[in-house]
């Protein structure tokens, strides 16, 4: 990918917020945009924008149980759409039709 950053960073340095959906699946939030784990092996995982049908934003991470120790190997954070509307309550992500806070 042409626009990918090659510098390694921890997920804390990229300011990734880790949340769960009500079904237990994990999401990453960066700059208000959401990413899901598209594919993974024991070493690496590819996180793709949840609007993947239209957007090419993604991240490649080294897998670690502790979120703060996950290393971001490469990323492309340019989106071609607005961020989704959602709220987070008790660590869980809920998609909404408009942005509001509890």
Residue 7 has pLDDT above 70, yes or no: no
Long-range contacts of 87-90 (CB under 8 A, 24+ apart): 88/19
Q: Give me the domain span that covers residue 75.
A: 9-95
Query: Does 65 reside within a domain?
Result: yes
Q: Which has more confidence, 42 or 102?
A: 42
pLDDT confidence of residue 57: 94
What are the φ and ψ backbone dihedral angles of 83, each rounded to 5 degrees?
-65, 155
The CATH number of residue 53's host domain is 2.20.25
Q: Exposed/middle/buried for 70, CB within 10 Å: 0-12, 13-18, 19+?
A: buried
Query: Does 75 reside within a domain?
Result: yes
Give CA separation, 5 vs 17, 27, 61, 72, 98, in Å: 19, 21, 13, 10, 32
Give CA separation, 63 vs 46, 67, 77, in Å: 10, 9, 19
Give the torsion through C-alpha atoms of 71, 20, 77, 69, to 10 deg: -10
Residue 38 has pLDDT above 70, yes or no: yes
pLDDT confidence of residue 10: 58
Q: H or E element: which one contains 92?
A: strand 92-95
Give the least confident one: 3-12, 19-28, 66-75, 90-99: 3-12
Query: Does 50 reside within a domain?
Result: yes
Q: What's the rounded mean pLDDT across residues 35-54?
A: 91
Query: Does 100 reside within a domain?
Result: no
């Amino acid at each position: 990918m042409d626009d990918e950053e090659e510098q390694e960073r921890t997920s804390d340095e990229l300011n990734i917020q880790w949340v769960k959906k009500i079904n237990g699946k994990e999401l990453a939030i960066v700059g208000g945009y959401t990413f899901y784990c598209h594919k993974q092996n024991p070493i690496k995982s590819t996180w793709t924008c949840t609007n993947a049908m239209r957007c090419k934003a993604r991240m490649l991470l080294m897998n670690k149980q502790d979120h703060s120790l996950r290393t971001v190997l490469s990323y492309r954070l340019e989106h071609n759409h607005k961020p989704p509307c959602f709220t987070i309550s008790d660590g869980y992500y809920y998609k909404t039709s408009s942005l509001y806070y509890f």
